[in-house]
Amino acid sequence: MTRFESDIKTVPYSAAKIYEVLSDFDNFESLLPSDKIQNWQSFGDSCRFEVTGVGPIKLKIIDKEPEKTIKYTADGTVPFNFFLWVQLKQDEAFSKVKVTLDADLNPMMKMVARGPLEQFVGLLADAIASHSY
């Protein structure tokens, strides 16, 4: 597995509020860039959508620890297996957030996908940090 990690972001909301949004795909669509996502469908613990230039994607939540961690993976056929998780840590008046992606990439895929996956992890962490909860 190849690991991609975001910087740790500071969010001016409680870990409980952030967890509430991220642990239910019904709340998740507002975090995604609307110019790149079409045909969003949510089913609570799973979702499916299309990414411009990439195609259809299905995700599911496979593990949740309230106010600490939400772990996601692909639900269906994808070019490579992956696990994506968001870690939350409550500080006094704010929370810390980190996004991690572990991807099972062959050497060729790793060369091609490294940049876009690093960018995706960073953009997702930024979207979580800048969202109004």
Hey, is 73 helix, strand or coil? strand
CB distance 69 to 15 below 8 Å: no
Residue located via tokens 């411009």? 52
What mean pLDDT is reported for the chain? 90
End-to-end CA distance of the chain: 33
Q: What is the pLDDT of residues 54-107, one digit of tens each?
A: 678 889 999 999 999 999 998 877 778 899 999 999 998 899 999 999 999 999
**Assigned architecture for domain 2-130:** 2-Layer Sandwich (3.30)
Q: Where are the domains of the chain?
A: 2-130
Region of 11 (left: φ > 0; alpha: ψ -120 to 50; beta: rest) is beta
Q: In terms of Cα–Cα distance, which of 45, 101, 43, 91 is closest to 67?
A: 91
